[in-house]
Structure 1
Amino acid sequence: MTQTVTKTTIKVAQWATGGVGQAAMQDVLAHPDLELVGAWVHSAEKHGKDVGEFIGSGPVGIVATTDQDEIINGDADCVVYSPLMPIESEVVALLRAGKNVVTPVGWVYPDPATTGAIEAACEEGNSTLHGTGIHPGGITERFPLMVSALSAGVTHVRSEEFSDIRTYGAPDVIRHIMAFGATPEEAKAGPIVGLLGGGFKQSVRMIAHEMGFDIDPELTTIHEVAVATQGIDSPIGVIEPGLVAGQRFSWQARVNGVPVITATVNWLMGEAHLDPAWEIGVEGERFEVEVTGDPSVKLTFKGLQPETIEEGLIRNPGVVSTANHCVSAIPYVVAAGPGIKTYLDLPLIAGRAAPGLAR
């Protein structure tokens, strides 16, 4: 007699429905093993609306709520947690209530000295937390580690992003958090270096730990800016001469002062009228992973940035990929034991076949 195997559907709730949250809900709805069962929203204007309105589809039968307890005490097996800024108490509450959490806003490779409350909540709720994303959260550590297996005697690992930030449809973030259009002094004193560094430093340390580099105790942070030499049209209006129109961030792990791991972000308001005259280059927008060793290997990711500014403002592939990386991880995270699980703790994570092609 043939035994019938019943596939268990994983119930998923979305926490915050900005760009990443909207893309995550689309991915959950298309995923053969997942079911969307709830959505928390920050804005009162979204409360009570069918989330289909947020993702441009017809009604999907899920009503958004501003009541956090509805998600915390609901029946979701996993929550995709994607607010603009993480709030640890929210994550602790979800984990304590037995909700697995996948997030692109932290905990890629956290310092155990800082995660006592998280670990206790995971133990109490028999739940799992996994930090993921794209950069950091993928390009910066997952893929360099995979590529490094092709080399021996590795002396340097580099991950680097080259993006035209005019394609990013979040003007408030661009102006007030990223500090584009500010003076160089304001950008240097702003929050962005610290916010980015919290994630990228974890990525760099993950690589150092797994590959066995005996790195110096302190990581090196480098922040450079380029200013407009004439007015540059942008999503936040015209950037006037002398104001910030390009930024480069790098985080390095060094051994005896020599860089061995480098993670770099290049964000430019186009390639014209910048001082210094930075360029994205003839290869266009891209992510690069390079491992220097025997042999050296270089991998270029295309397709994670839009073809045009207009396309990016409608649906940015980098935002979508960030969401997809979260959603793809859900079955693996739900199956894992309690605690914080990084890429080093989980099996290989894969996407799923399109609905019409899935078994």
Structure 2
Amino acid sequence: MSQKSYRVIQWATGTVGKVSLRHFIENPAFELVGVLVTNPEKVGKDAGELVDLPPTGVLATNDVEAIIALDADCVLFAPMLQDIDMVCRLLSSGKNVVSTIGPFFTTDFSKAEVEQLEAAAQEGGVSFHGCGIHPGFIGDIMPMTLTRLMDRIDRIQVFEIANKLVSPSVYIEFMGFGLTPEELSARPNCMEYAMPTFGESMAMVLAGLGKQVENLTEKHEIALARNDIAYPGGVIRAGTVAGQHWEWTMWTEGKPLLLYHLYYVMGEDMEPNWGLGATSRHRIVFEGNPEFEMTLTASPDAEGKHPFLGIIWTALLGATAIPQVCDAKPGVLTHFDLGVVRPQGLIR
């Protein structure tokens, strides 16, 4: 295991980027050399100030060319939306890139982007890795790891249940909560590419099990608020969208082998209720022989509530993979290529 310090750049400092930025500042395995921000109010501020830490001497900038010119081992790329051309520029400049927004695995949907990334990585002599909590971990490397406990697999179901009333975020507005059902169906859907993106995780599992993808289907359900629901960002009015359930099913050999469920809810005062309870969690259910399930959730906070850790986990899954991505051979790396990631600097 390498003991060297990795020179890193944090690209974007939103909800995910702030977590990884703090990790880089506090973890001796990393040396922060650059921070790219898109908010003009953050330009010129010390990186430490952005995450309530002492000064680091590294000032945030929105100058892309200055960032590309930096001498760095890796960029943690965490904007709200993907920019493959920019990632390729970073790779071509000789910087490894870990992206929290994929792509995660080669499918018909992602093939062109993966080929573009592979060419840029080879040009720069570096590597690219896409990961996150879901997609990028709970729906691919975690179930693949647990399949070793199975004698026969009939079906695998993966659940992400996020109570956004307990853990508010920008995704409340982004996903259309508080709209009427008519408004939600009429506007451009922010989840338009969710099915093929989650499909990358599903395809990775099928590939690991030696099977081919035959079909991928989608179902979307909504729940409406029974009463007004107040949260720090506003109010979800009675009769508007307070819960959404996305279900994606991947078929192989004529059967639904993988089902992924994404439940985002604003508490429990909605109809239908779905019986989820108030706890945010990730859950994987294995059907076959033997049958078992795994639930992953945050420990209760001071109020006894279980916050949703998806944002934090997304950032840390990217940050902790950086040493092995930097030390790997050039190219696009999936979880299969990285093997068992060995995080550095966590005991401090």
Q: Same fold (TM over 0.5)?
A: yes
1:275 aligns with 2:267: no
Deviates more, 1:301-310 or 1:334-343: 301-310
Please give the alpha-carbon distance, in whole angstroms, between the structure 2 residues aligned to 1:168 and 1:99: 34
C-alpha distance 260-311 of structure 1, shift in aligned 2 (>3 A): closer
C-alpha distance 6-243 of structure 1, shift in aligned 2 (>3 A): closer
Matches within 5 A, 1:1-359: 7-111=3-107, 112-171=111-170, 173-175=171-173, 177-189=174-186, 190-216=188-214, 218-255=215-252, 257-272=254-269, 274-281=270-277, 284-303=279-298, 317-352=309-344, 354-356=346-348
TM-score with structure 2 setting the length? 0.92
The structural deviation recorded for 1:311 is 9.1
Q: Give, as a single letter, the amino acid of the residue that structure 2 aligns with 1:174.
A: I
Deviates more, 1:100-109 or 1:254-263: 254-263
Q: Is the 8 A contact 1:226 1:247 kept in 2?
A: yes
Please give the alpha-carbon distance, in whole angstroms, between the structure 2 residues aligned to 1:292 and 1:6: 40
Q: Is the 8 A contact 2:178 2:237 kept in 1?
A: yes
Please give the alpha-carbon distance, in whole angstroms, between the structure 2 residues aligned to 1:345 and 1:305: 35
C-alpha distance 263-6 of structure 1, shift in aligned 2 (>3 A): closer
Q: Secondary structure at the match of 2:335?
A: coil
Deviation track 1:92-137 (CA, whole Å, cap 9, x = no partner) reads 1101101100111111113334423211111110111101110111
Q: Secondary structure at the match of 2:102?
A: coil
Structure 2 gap segments, 5+ residues each: none
Q: Give, as a single letter, the amino acid of the residue that structure 2 aligns with 1:292.
A: E
Q: Is the 8 A contact 1:27 1:327 kept in 2?
A: yes
The structural deviation recorded for 1:300 is 0.8
C-alpha distance 129-204 of structure 1, shift in aligned 2 (>3 A): same
The structural deviation recorded for 1:8 is 2.1
Please give the alpha-carbon distance, in whole angstroms, between the structure 2 residues aligned to 1:98 and 1:239: 47
Structure 1 gap segments, 5+ residues each: none
C-alpha distance 308-233 of structure 1, shift in aligned 2 (>3 A): farther
Deviation track 1:65-111 (CA, whole Å, cap 9, x = no partner) reads 00011221101110000000111111011011011001111111133
C-alpha distance 214-318 of structure 1, shift in aligned 2 (>3 A): closer
Deviation track 1:181-228 (CA, whole Å, cap 9, x = no partner) reads 112233245323224224211111111111123442x30111110011
Please give the alpha-carbon distance, in whole angstroms, between the structure 1 residues aligned to 2:42 and 2:180: 35
C-alpha distance 306-38 of structure 1, shift in aligned 2 (>3 A): farther
Please give the alpha-carbon distance, in whole angstroms, between the structure 1 residues aligned to 2:25 and 2:93: 24
TM-score with structure 1 setting the length? 0.89
C-alpha distance 354-113 of structure 1, shift in aligned 2 (>3 A): closer
Q: Give, as a single letter, the amino acid of the residue that structure 2 aligns with 1:288.
A: R
Please give the alpha-carbon distance, in whole angstroms, between the structure 2 residues aligned to 1:146 and 1:6: 25
C-alpha distance 221-203 of structure 1, shift in aligned 2 (>3 A): same
Please give the alpha-carbon distance, in whole angstroms, between the structure 2 residues aligned to 1:308 and 1:51: 31
Please give the alpha-carbon distance, in whole angstroms, between the structure 1 residues aligned to 2:267 and 2:347: 38
Q: How many residues align?
A: 344
Q: Is the 8 A contact 1:15 1:81 kept in 2?
A: yes
Q: Secondary structure at the match of 2:42?
A: coil
Superposition RMSD in Å: 2.3
